[in-house]
Amino acid sequence: MLDNSLLTDLFTPSSFGAISTANRIVMAPVTRSRYGEDGVPGALHATYYAQRASAGLIVSEATNISPQGRGYAATPGIWNDAQVAGWKQVTDAVHAAGGKIVCQLWHVGRFSSVELQPDGGAPVAPSAIKAEGSTYTTEGFVPVSMPRALETKEIADIIAQYVHAAKNALRAGFDGVEVHSANCYLLDQFLRDSTNHRTDQYGGARENRVRLTLEVTEAVVAIWGGNRVGIRLSPVTPDVGNTPLDSNVMDTYGHLIGELNRFELAYLHVVEGATGGSRAVPENVDLDQLRAMFTGPYIGNNNYDLNLAIDRRAQGKIDAVAFGRLFIANPDLVERLRRGKDLTIAPRESYYNGGAKGFTDWPVASL
């Protein structure tokens, strides 16, 4: 019987900071849109995550830190007691199955609609620059709304939202948290000079544009310890919102990574290329060079297959690999990869919405 564990150490135990894992295969955050408007997880979600607990580490689907941070209907939250209790069902189930799970802390910033915001307010952003595209509401898809620029005095409240969510994640029994500073959501909007036209201490020079991500990370580390906090970056993706890249990716993100090192984080999780798309990067960007600047474990993400993961692991370019869509229809993905079993490809219509169908009804492979 084929055993790919003889070819690589991706299937052997490892650790991300203080989080010990059974292997170096990570389940990436995958939005599945199977929540009510209260954003409370339940037994169905506990089953879903527990089925995939053979991943060395599960990163939860993006989880709203506050009502203001919400940009899509049918997504989970972690700002109130009911949501904490729901996530406790999930973490208990994952732990009972031998897995580890961290909560991805999410504020969408400008990519939202007045239909989703508290009291019908405008979404908040570093600057009043509208994103492209539409988002999902209970009434269907609607264009995203024009955001308003956060006032300087409001930044403290944004950080407080992350702190509140991080404390709730601790109460919910997660093994750690991941700061979502990627995919053109709020923190990434502050990083990029294409979306950040501020003139205060959070805009202008790169040192100012990275400030909010660093302040949020520092505040979360104060709760969890750096060895249980990861961060996700996506230096070259235009999604969401068809967002232009920063004018100097290497300089901005290189400076950010250098500053992040002082927190001794559990890991850096990077979308290598365009989220869910091409791995191609602009000629003036070298993601491996950015990776080399980080002093802790590095998780590579985006359109990996096993051969690419084995190759980049052998070259020392990744410490672990994250798979997203492949975990949808292959709850036993780690074992399938290790044994060279065929992988099931989930149809796109099963990605979002619905109940158990296309969510928890995928079979494991026969051995």
CA distance 199 to 208: 9
Backbone dihedral angles phi then psi of residue 235, each to the nearest 5 degrees: -60, -25
Domain count for the chain? 1
Is there a contact between 32 and 334 (Cβ–Cβ < 8 Å)? no
Q: Which residue has the tokens 């004018």?
A: 247
363 located within any domain? no
- pLDDT tier for residue 354 given thresholds of 50, 70 and 90: confident
At residue 134 the predicted structure's pLDDT band, cuts being 50, 70 and 90, is very high
Q: Is 163 exposed, middle or buried (0-12, 13-18, 19+ CB in 10 A)?
A: middle
Q: What is the mean pLDDT of residues 214-236?
A: 98
Say what the pLDDT of residue 314 is: 98
Average pLDDT, the chain: 97
Q: Is the confidence at residue 329, as pLDDT, over 70? A: yes
Report helix, strand or coil for 101: strand
Instruction: For residue 355, tell me if it sits in a domain.
Output: no
Structural domain of 134: 4-350
Annotated active-site residue in 49, 162, 185, 253: 185
- Mean pLDDT for the stretch of residues 287-307: 98
DSSP-derived secondary structure letter, 341: P
Q: What is the pLDDT of residues 161-186, one digit of tens each?
A: 999 999 999 999 999 999 999 999 99
> Is residue 366 situated within a structural domain?
no
* Domain of residue 157, CATH code: 3.20.20.70
Residue 311 binned pLDDT confidence (cut-offs 50, 70, 90)? very high
Q: Of all helices (H) and strands (E), which one includes residue 104?
A: strand 101-106
With beta carbons less than 8 A apart as the criterion, state whether 191 and 202 touch: no
pLDDT at residue 99, rounded to an integer? 98
Measured CA to CA in angstroms, residue 338 lies from 54, 69, 159 at distances of 12, 38, 41
Q: Cis (ω within 30 of 0) for the bond into 240?
A: yes
Work out the average pLDDT over 122-145.
Answer: 97
How many CB atoms are closer than 10 A to CB 187? 28
Considering the domain boundaries, does residue 357 fall inside one? no
Residue 45 lies inside a defined structural domain of this protein? yes
Tell me whether residue 140 is in a domain: yes
**Is 367 a domain residue?**
no
Please, are residues 71 and 108 in contact by the beta-carbon 8 Å criterion?
Answer: yes
Between CA 273 and CA 290 the distance in angstroms is 13
CA distance 298 to 74: 31
Residue 63 lies in a domain: yes
Name the residue type at position 171.
R
User: Is 49 annotated as catalytic?
Assistant: no
- Contact assessment for residue 102 and residue 230, using Cβ atoms and an 8 Å cutoff: yes
pTM: predicted TM-score of the whole model, two decimal places: 0.98
Residues 6+ apart with CB under 8 A from 162: 65, 105, 107, 179, 216, 219, 220
Question: 111 is written with which tokens?
Answer: 């990519």
Per-residue pLDDT at 367 exceeds 70:
no
